[in-house]
Amino acid sequence: MPKKVRAIPKGFRTVTPYLVIRNCAEAVKFYQKAFDAKKREVMKGPDGKGVMHAEIEIGNSVLMMCDEMPIMQGWVSPQQLNGTTVCLSLYVEDADQLYKKAVKAGCTVTMPLADQFWGDRCGRVRDPYGHEWFIATHIADFTPKQISKAAAAFLAGLPAGKSR
C-alpha cells in the first residue's frame, strides 16, 4: 500500500510567502548574510539562466522566491512596482542584534528600532531587492484596551495626514 502523502509538506507552515525578486540567486546569498537564512534549494530555469524557484529557511519558517518572469503576468519585483505591497514580520530572540546585522549587510532603515506601543521591540528595514522586513522581539503583553489607548496617543502625536 502506498504511503500517504502529507497535505502540507514537512517543514512548511500553512502560509508560506513567495517573493518575486530581481536577481533571486543574489538575494538568496544576501538573506543568508543578513538574516541567517539557510538555503534549501535553488532551481534554475530551463535555459539555465535565472531562478525558477528557490526556498530558504529563516528560523522555523520557509520562504519561497523566484526571479521576475514576464511570462507569469503580474509576477514583478518591488523595483518594477517602485515599492512593495507587503512587509514580512520576522520575530527573533534579539531584535537589536539582527537589526544591526541586516543594516550592516545592506538593508536600509525605514523605521528605527524602538519599543513599540503594541509590546514589541521592533524596527523595519528594506532589503536591496525592495522587500520590507519588520524585525521584532516581543517584550510585553498588553490588553487590547491598552494597545488601543496607546495607538490613539501615538496617532494623535503624528502631523495631520501623516502616517508611518
13 located within any domain: no
Q: How many helices (H) and strands (E) does the chain have?
A: 4, 8
2 located within any domain: no
Of 13, 22, 15, nearest in space to 127 by CA: 22
94 located within any domain: yes
pTM over 0.85: yes
Q: Give the pLDDT confidence score for residue 161 in this predicted structure.
A: 58
> pLDDT at residue 46 above 90?
no
> pLDDT at residue 73 above 90?
no
Residues 97-107: pLDDT tens digits? Answer: 999 999 999 99
Of 54 and 49, the structure prediction assigns the larger pLDDT to 54
Of 80 and 125, the structure prediction assigns the larger pLDDT to 125
71 located within any domain: yes
70 located within any domain: yes
> pLDDT at residue 163 above 60?
no
CATH number for the domain spanning 140: value is 3.10.180.10
Residue 146, phi then psi, degrees to nearest 5: -65, -40
7 located within any domain: no
Average pLDDT of the segment spanning 32-55:
94
| Mean pLDDT estimate for the chain | 92
Name the pLDDT band for 45 (thresholds 50, 70, 90): confident
| End-to-end CA, the chain | 57
Residues 4-20: pLDDT tens digits? Answer: 898 888 888 889 999 99
75 located within any domain: yes
Beta bridge partners of 58: 61
> pLDDT at residue 164 above 90?
no
> pLDDT at residue 149 above 60?
yes
Q: Which of 19-23, 128-132, 153-157 has the lowest mean pLDDT?
A: 153-157
The phi-psi region of residue 48 (left if phi > 0; otherwise alpha if psi is between -120 and 50; otherwise beta) is left
161 located within any domain: no
Give the separation between CA 56 and CA 32, rounded to whole angstroms: 8
Q: Which domain holds residue 61?
A: 18-156
User: 122 and 95 in contact (C-beta within 8 Å)?
Assistant: yes
How many domains in the chain? 1
Q: Give the pLDDT confidence score for residue 162 in this predicted structure.
A: 55
C-alpha cell at 63: 520562504
